[in-house]
Amino acid sequence: MICLAFEFTSRRRSVAVGRDGVPLAESVQETGRETPVFALVDRALQTAGVERGEVGRLALDIGPGSYTGIRIAISTVQGWALGTGIPVVPMGSFEILRRMAGGLDRPLPWTFAVDAQRREFAVRTWNGADWDGNVRLVPDTELVRWIREGRTVLGPDLDGCFGTLPESGPEVLAGIAGTRLQPAATELIRLATDAVPPLPPETLAPVYLREAAFVKAPPARPIPGDPT
């Protein structure tokens, strides 16, 4: 089974192609703010020597992470799946990061942290056998305290997040040195095997920990000379 995987939750955006859980190729975009989805797809397929029509499964990371990136991945996968009937397997960012963290040789427990903006991080802790509770939001000052206490904190782009934080300092930056862990589409390929049941594409939704809130815009201001 050929699987095509989309990972757009961090600044490292990637698309990977694999067969039966084994990655064949990955294309990556790490610069700029745009996500050239189909350029990444075409590059990965071409490198793997696979045609679009051979893809039999789609996988994607639904977060937490970049809200815009996750939305792009969801809309791409939904359109592809609804047009072809290909099954879709969504995965969470923390499960991908947990699988990747084994290669870093860091002491347990591992606390994974993803920037949630507004000086908050989405976090979850792995104790070596199971997750300690659900994903939750914590303020950045709490994460700084954990790092100073020597806890293993892992996640994407943490060096950039803490480099400009007033409460941070050299000891905090030293504490996260070498812990940058970027989720990769190749890990999605390994996880989204035939043993994982697919979900209907129309049910896909991002992992977003804040309640959506909208502020009603004020009445339109009249513009002189505009008949409308």
Model confidence over 35-93: pLDDT tens digits?
A: 999 999 999 999 999 999 999 999 999 999 998 999 999 999 999 999 999 999 999 99
Q: Are residues 84 and 189 in the same domain?
A: yes
> Are 79 and 116 in a shared domain?
no
What CATH number has the domain bearing residue 85? 3.30.420.40
| Same-domain check for residues 63 and 121 | no
**pLDDT at res. 111:** 95
Q: Give whole-number Cα distances, 165 to 17, 87, 139, 152, 171, in Å.
A: 37, 42, 12, 19, 13
Please indicate, yes or no, whether residues 60 and 38 belong to a single structural domain of this protein. Answer: yes
Under-50 pLDDT residues of the chain: 214
Given this model, what pLDDT does residue 161 score?
76
- Structural domains in the chain (count): 2
Report residue 132 as tokens: 């300690």
pLDDT at 214: 46
Q: Are residues 14 and 41 in the same domain?
A: yes
Whole-angstrom distance between the N-terminal and C-terminal Cα of the chain? 57
Per-residue pLDDT, 179: 66
Same structural domain for residues 41 and 66? yes
Determine the structural domain holding residue 154 and report its residue range: 94-175
Query: Is 59 part of a structural domain of the chain?
Result: yes
Asked whether residue 46 is domain-assigned, the answer is yes
| Residue 49 confidence (pLDDT) | 98
Q: Are residues 48 and 149 in the same domain?
A: no
Same domain for 168 and 192, yes or no, is: no
For residues 8 and 89, state if they share a domain.
yes
Q: What CATH number does the domain containing 171 carry?
A: 3.30.420
Buried b (16+ CB within 10 A) or exposed e, 142-154: ebbebbeeeebbb
